[in-house]
Structure 1
Amino acid sequence: MEKEPVQVDQVASLNDLANEMPMREVWHHKDILRNEIIAGVTGFFAISYIIVVNPAILKDAGIPMDLSIFATIFSSFFGCMVMAFWANAPIILTPGMGVNAFFTYTIVVNMGLSWQEALGIAAVSSFVYMLIAFTRVSTILSASIPESLKHGITAGIGLYLVEIGLEKAGLIVAGKSSLIELGDLTQPTPLLALFGLALSLILYLRKVKGNFFIAIVATSLLAFFLGVKDSGTPTVDLARLGQYHKIVFQNDFSSFFTIPFILAAFSMTMILVFESMGLVQGLLPNQKKFKKTFEGGSVTTFLSGFMGTSPTVAAAESASGIESGGRTGVMALVAGLLFLLSLLFVPLLAYVPSAAIAPVIIITGALMMAAIAGIDLSDFSEWFPAFLIIVLIPFTNSISTGLAFGFVAYPIMKLALGRTYEVTGPLYLLGGLFLLDLVFSTLL
């Protein structure tokens, strides 16, 4: 018997309906489909900088930049397809910022391993991540995390996005007498960003459909007519695609039993598992999709190393698409197709300047900061570990470091109060593992 289509008026909102809707049904609801497409486009533009930035970082590890661009695009496309058809989740997967820095500057530059050995470490770490994702361990770990820490993770990622957005906008810069200071407001980039921020806020508050996307396009057009353009965007020569095989399946496991390989693999495993878990839990509008999303992310992470790039993770910038109405895998599908099309149009990304993208990232991060309301501020032992996560993620420029301090502090504070019944066995284990990770990280 044919299933009757769900009526939009049976739920409180289109977003509520889309949250529970299989991807195949989205195509029958024009309003939801439009929201998902706009969300996919918005999310793609918010994270599109990864196409250039990730290869630039991996170049310092010795991976040719032009070939690394192909690896970044293909791994992102594959990850988005997995999110669309396996998890039906509005999550964009790309090579992770932070993870790529660990890959390049810790494993290759500081430890002296080759980029091929770093790819071998990434494969081992992501294989462990995949084992955890496809077993009950992931469910146990997720259930053992206190609500205060979960809200802290969401707010911490939000504050991290705000910092990224302000930096991309040129509104904050490295200070001479302090960590950060106000940028030069006489320069075109900060002024354009302020215009984009004002426009984005107005459209958002007025509940205009496609608000963020409209603001990105309008700011980009203004930048074009004013002659403002980001520099350093490389041109992808598709003729070089024939050389892409030089970085595919180059994983080197020859130093598998050495101490540096083991320590690096342990630290990367901690980063991948718990950064991915924190990001997915912090981003997903529908937590029922956590298991499938976590599983799909692990598969993409495992395969990305064989594609010639550092591991993929859920992009925090997915939140900009979600705020634009993304609730299903259609958002990921649209973003993935745009990644593939970017092979032809990467130079055009130069016409979408940082000033156009930054306001969306800032507002999205601010909205995620609302998760602080879910933290019990009357209990210091609950909110202080969450506070550590919130401030240390942006201050250390590392999601995994912020998580580590929060997860170590939580059981210690409960033990100090004699409230051991509030800490589960897995949480003690997580605290211990994060402590080991912090110790090992100082030794690498």
Structure 2
Amino acid sequence: MLQGLKEMIKRRTKATIGKNDLKTEILAGVTSFFAISYIMIVNPLILSDAGIPVNLSIFATIIISVLGCLLMAVWANAPIILTPGMGVNAFFTYTLVVGMHFTWQVAIAVSLVSSFLYLVIAFTPLSRVLAESIPDVLKTGITVGIGLFLVELGLEKAGLITAGSNGSLLAFGSLQNPTTLLALFGLTLTVILYVKKIPGNFIIGIIVTSLVGAAFKIKGQATTVDVTQIKEYGKLLFQGDFQEIGQLKFWLAVFSMTMILVFESMGLLEGLLPDKSKFKKSFQSSAITALLSGICGTSPTVAAAESAAGIESGGRTGIVAGVASLLFASSIFLVRFLKYVPEAAIAPVIIITGALMMQQLQHIQIQDFSEWFPAFLIIVLIPLSGSIAIGLSFGFVSYPILKIMTKKTDISAIMWILSMLFLINLVCTAFLN
């Protein structure tokens, strides 16, 4: 029976499942789940500023993550985790609701229309045309930029960097902080496990660091979820309000969110997927799940950058996403136990993963400034602005301009169109804010 199951998995994943490979895929799924587990708490807290009840939003976040990861596993067979996107949720709350004075129900309607347009692009030749028109240097810049963004996120979770004072952007954290010391312990341990090529290195690091944190009474991710409130979750379903669909500002919001969803997802998938042949179905899975997000009552999903943690652990197939889907499903009842997994235990995995992604920098022709500078803008603006879309915008707008200035005219019409669209998006974003 076990052999039959093994053969079924082998046929489904089109991968050689050897003695240790299935174990590697499962461990990679667990690693990716823990790396992104904070989203179950953080996303509802951000959306609460838009007026969505926190407890109900936790259920929405978990349910759409279950559906997204399951779809990614079954349809795309890719090791990508789909959850409500950081940055997209901020755009939803602070631009659409706080800035433009939409209700959260109207913001859901904007998300639904944007996701439908995203779906149309994903299921037509447009997705292939767009992906093939992006120069390799910009794709590499996206990978490196996401890596640097993960490093910044990990350092922040570790308490090694904090918001600056006296005019500085960032400041070094305090080594007297027990959480920071725990993160440094976890980072040292996980790096050693990684360079020694110990199987399951990332998940071992998370578990051991969590146990040490528990021994020193360092708390994990706070949560007050009341499972009994799931019976009220229906209040978030099908809440899109289209009463302002005839207004110009509604369509400006739709344009900006569509640009964010399409190109942030495209950039993330191009940067994360170890097997680029899985891009099309992964992109389609992302689009379907983004549309389902609005129905479920939360901001749109995107591919989680933290998927890289599982990929760097050896995950290559949909088993990774399938395992994460099961863990998200169990989290409806077990989310309260996240208090035993402190951010200091997750931070080392995120930092190392970001560092590994940044190794792609070696493939950029730094000596050619017309190649390097657009990639440079993407790399630095993604983490510094906290927005993948902003980084992409500046990189894509600057690329054809520099090529023309250096008399290199081999720029496709599609690239010029993309550049103009990103420029319009920057203008619209400035107007919306």
User: What residue is the counterpart of 1:190 in the other structure?
Assistant: 180
Q: Measured at CA, do residues 119 and 195 of structure 1 come closer, stay the same or move farther in structure 2, by a change above 3 Å?
A: same
Name which of 220, 227, 234 aligns with 1:230. 220
Matched, 1:443 2:420: no
Matched, 1:77 2:73: no
Write out aligned runs for 1:6-405 (5 A).
Answer: 22-24=11-13, 29-177=18-166, 178-230=168-220, 233-405=222-394
Shift of 1:28: 5.1
Q: C-alpha separation between the residues in 2 aligned to 1:405 and 1:224?
A: 44
Q: C-alpha separation between the residues in 2 aligned to 1:110 and 1:83?
A: 33
User: What residue is the counterpart of 1:13 in the other structure?
Assistant: none
SS across alignment from 2:289: helix
* Equivalent residues of 2:223, 2:339 under 8 A apart: no
SS across alignment from 1:112: coil
Shift of 1:238: 2.1
**Residue correspondences, number:** 427
Q: Letter of the aligned partner of 1:181 in structure 2? A: A
Q: Letter of the aligned partner of 1:221 in structure 2? A: L
Q: C-alpha separation between the residues in 2 aligned to 1:24 and 1:310?
A: 30
Q: Letter of the aligned partner of 1:183 in structure 2? A: G
User: What residue is the counterpart of 1:10 in the other structure?
Assistant: none
Shift of 1:26: 5.9
Shift of 1:374: 1.2
Q: C-alpha separation between the residues in 2 aligned to 1:27 and 1:385?
A: 39
Shift of 1:141: 0.5
Q: C-alpha separation between the residues in 1 aligned to 2:362 and 2:162?
A: 30
Supply the RMSD in Å over aligned alpha carbons: 1.7
Shift of 1:23: 3.5
* Stretches of structure 2 lacking an aligned partner (at least 5 in a row): none
Q: Identical aligned pairs, as a percentage? A: 59
Matched, 1:413 2:402: yes
Matched, 1:431 2:419: yes
Q: C-alpha separation between the residues in 2 aligned to 1:22 and 1:268?
A: 38
* Equivalent residues of 1:27, 1:33 under 8 A apart: no
Q: C-alpha separation between the residues in 1 aligned to 2:233 and 2:384?
A: 37
Q: C-alpha separation between the residues in 2 aligned to 1:359 and 1:80?
A: 24
The worse-fitting range, judged by mean Cα deviation, of 28-37 and 197-206 is 28-37
The worse-fitting range, judged by mean Cα deviation, of 172-181 and 43-52 is 172-181
* Equivalent residues of 2:36, 2:304 under 8 A apart: yes
Q: C-alpha separation between the residues in 2 aligned to 1:143 and 1:5?
A: 38
Q: C-alpha separation between the residues in 2 aligned to 1:428 and 1:302?
A: 28
The worse-fitting range, judged by mean Cα deviation, of 175-184 and 233-242 is 233-242
* Equivalent residues of 1:23, 1:328 under 8 A apart: no
Shift of 1:239: 1.6
* Equivalent residues of 1:45, 1:357 under 8 A apart: yes
* Equivalent residues of 1:235, 1:346 under 8 A apart: no
Q: Letter of the aligned partner of 2:302 in structure 1? A: V
* Equivalent residues of 1:26, 1:33 under 8 A apart: no
SS across alignment from 1:420: coil
* Stretches of structure 1 lacking an aligned partner (at least 5 in a row): 8-17
Q: Letter of the aligned partner of 1:385 in structure 2? A: P
Shift of 1:410: 0.1
* Equivalent residues of 1:126, 1:298 under 8 A apart: yes
Q: Letter of the aligned partner of 1:23 in structure 2? A: R
